[in-house]
């Protein structure tokens, strides 16, 4: 059993729970090592205070689960069978108690009620906060994987910059990045790659389209790559030709905001203090209303996870926490600038997972 699963089992025991039912495939892979994608079928991991945990998978995935290195029991069901009754039967063989916990941020109401019907419990506690607490501190092994995921993201940016030429469309640049990466053996992107030209980048989560690149505009890239289930996430904004003074001005402010935030990161500082460090730079420059999102988000096996780096989050940073720092200014009809890297908190500061230079650059 992994140290992480041990920690979860200890929590189940300390809380006098009879079992915890985990349903999120990302959580399950984190604790079990089995990377499953059940789609609409049922995948579960059940953790008891004393008895060994078990995995429950669709029958067509059982072999993969067995080959993943999971050494405890695996049960599976075929499509015509009743998964919830089968899960309940296995649970009842191990405990007759009904003090249970579930992932409230994942289990659907429909599935919760099916589990409830099969087991007869009245209500369930939420185990999500404890899972977040365990996940938030990354191990050496996780950090190594995140570093490789970051190296891939740097490579992706390099390919993206090289693909810029007059008349190319946003979609074509995305296609070029993903095609080249696949050929190099990349596992996959962390999320839909974003490439936005000029004022189109004024929408922070804009969707790449058929807009053609013109000279004298900014290009915003936001992308990430997966490596062994771990994610990277980075954004760069680069000039194609010489854009307007306004565009250049907001670039410099965003870079200064990011630099200020990075310099503030160390164990003992709170998440909101880091957000403030960046936000105050943008506010003081008069663009506060154009920075419309939190400064950053946690990252690991999921692209967005605990903790949020934002106003109102008093969470105290600790060594081993990983998150993005991504200030942006989005000026409607002018340009959008975002600069983003993910970091791990170290003993005295932080280290980035991506290295692509950030000084203002025209190509």
CB 77 within 8 A of CB 42: yes
Nearer to Mn ion, 124 or 303 (CB): 303
Residue with tokens 């039967």: 89
Beta carbon of residue 162, minimum distance to Mn ion (angstroms, whole number): 23
From residue 188, how far is each of 59, 181, 227, 324 by CA, in Å? Answer: 26, 8, 8, 19
User: Binding segment for Mn ion among 37-45, 241-249, 252-260, 318-326 (CB under 5 A)?
Assistant: 318-326
Q: Residues 139 to 198: which contact Mn ion by CB under 5 A?
A: none
Nearer to Mn ion, 9 or 324 (CB): 324
Other C-beta atoms within 10 Å of 198: how many? 22
Beta carbon of residue 122, minimum distance to Mn ion (angstroms, whole number): 40
d(CA 261, CA 278): 5
User: Binding segment for Mn ion among 125-133, 243-251, 282-290, 319-327 (CB under 5 A)?
Assistant: 319-327
Nearer to Mn ion, 24 or 233 (CB): 233
CB 95 within 8 A of CB 19: yes
The secondary structure element, H or E, covering residue 222 is strand 217-223
d(CA 156, CA 193): 10
User: Binding segment for Mn ion among 128-136, 203-211, 255-263, 322-330 (CB under 5 A)?
Assistant: 322-330
Nearer to Mn ion, 84 or 145 (CB): 145
**Dihedral sign for Cα atoms in the order 121, 53, 107, 134:** positive
Nearer to Mn ion, 49 or 327 (CB): 327
Q: Residues 214 to 233: which contact Mn ion by CB under 5 A?
A: 233
What is the secondary structure of 75-143 as a DSSP string? EEE-TTS-HHHHHHHHHHHH-----EEE-TTTS-HHHHHHHHHHH--S-EEE-HHHHHHHHTSPPHHHH
Beta carbon of residue 149, minimum distance to Mn ion (angstroms, whole number): 13
Nearer to Mn ion, 217 or 233 (CB): 233
d(CA 331, CA 286): 12
3-state secondary structure of 198: helix
User: Binding segment for Mn ion among 86-94, 103-111, 116-124, 321-329 (CB under 5 A)?
Assistant: 321-329
CB 213 within 8 A of CB 219: yes
Beta carbon of residue 222, minimum distance to Mn ion (angstroms, whole number): 7
Nearer to Mn ion, 45 or 299 (CB): 299
Residue 218 token pair: 């900014």
Beta carbon of residue 233, minimum distance to Mn ion (angstroms, whole number): 4
Query: How many residues of this chain interact with Mn ion, rule: CB under 5 A?
Result: 2
Q: Residues 230 to 249: which contact Mn ion by CB under 5 A?
A: 233
Nearer to Mn ion, 41 or 294 (CB): 294
Beta carbon of residue 304, minimum distance to Mn ion (angstroms, whole number): 7
Beta carbon of residue 192, minimum distance to Mn ion (angstroms, whole number): 12
Beta carbon of residue 305, minimum distance to Mn ion (angstroms, whole number): 11
CB 155 within 8 A of CB 181: yes
Instruction: Tell me if 302 contacts Mn ion by CB under 5 A.
Output: no
List the one residue from 193, 324, 354, 356 that touches Mn ion (CB under 5 A): 324
List contacts with Mn ion (CB under 5 A): 233, 324
């Amino acid at each position: 059993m992994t140290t992480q699963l041990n920690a979860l089992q200890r929590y189940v025991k300390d809380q006098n729970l009879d079992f915890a039912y985990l349903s999120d495939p990302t959580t399950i892979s984190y604790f079990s090592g089995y990377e499953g994608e059940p789609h609409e079928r049922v995948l579960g991991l059940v953790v008891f205070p004393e008895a060994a945990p078990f995995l429950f998978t669709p029958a067509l995935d059982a072999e993969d689960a067995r080959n993943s290195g999971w050494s405890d029991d695996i049960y599976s069901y075929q499509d015509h069978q009743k998964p919830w009754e089968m899960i309940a039967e296995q649970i009842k063989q191990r405990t007759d108690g009904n003090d249970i916990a579930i992932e409230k941020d994942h289990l659907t109401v429909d599935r919760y009620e099916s589990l409830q019907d099969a087991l007869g419990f009245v209500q369930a506690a939420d185990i999500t906060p404890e899972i977040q607490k365990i996940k938030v501190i990354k191990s050496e092994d996780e950090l190594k994987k995140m570093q490789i995921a970051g190296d891939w993201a740097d490579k992706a940016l390099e390919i993206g910059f090289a693909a810029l030429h007059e008349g190319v469309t946003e979609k074509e640049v995305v296609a070029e990045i993903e095609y080249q990466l696949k050929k190099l053996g990349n596992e996959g992107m962390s999320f839909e790659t974003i490439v936005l030209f000029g004022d189109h980048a004024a929408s922070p989560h804009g969707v790449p389209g058929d807009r053609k690149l013109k000279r004298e505009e900014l290009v915003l890239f936001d992308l990430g790559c997966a490596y062994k289930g771990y994610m990277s996430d980075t954004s760069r904004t680069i000039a194609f030709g010489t854009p307007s003074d306004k565009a250049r001005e907001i670039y410099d402010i965003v870079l200064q905001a990011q630099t200020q935030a990075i310099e503030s990161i160390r164990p003992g500082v709170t998440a909101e203090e880091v957000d403030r460090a960046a936000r105050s730079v943008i506010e003081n420059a008069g663009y506060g209303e154009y920075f419309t999102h939190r400064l950053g988000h946690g990252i690991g096996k999921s692209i967005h996870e605990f903790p949020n780096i934002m106003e109102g989050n008093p969470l105290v940073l600790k060594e081993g926490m990983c998150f993005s720092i991504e200030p942006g200014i989005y000026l409607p009809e002018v340009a959008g600038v975002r600069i983003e890297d993910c970091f791990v908190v170290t003993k005295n500061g932080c280290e980035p997972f991506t290295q692509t230079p950030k000084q203002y650059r025209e190509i």
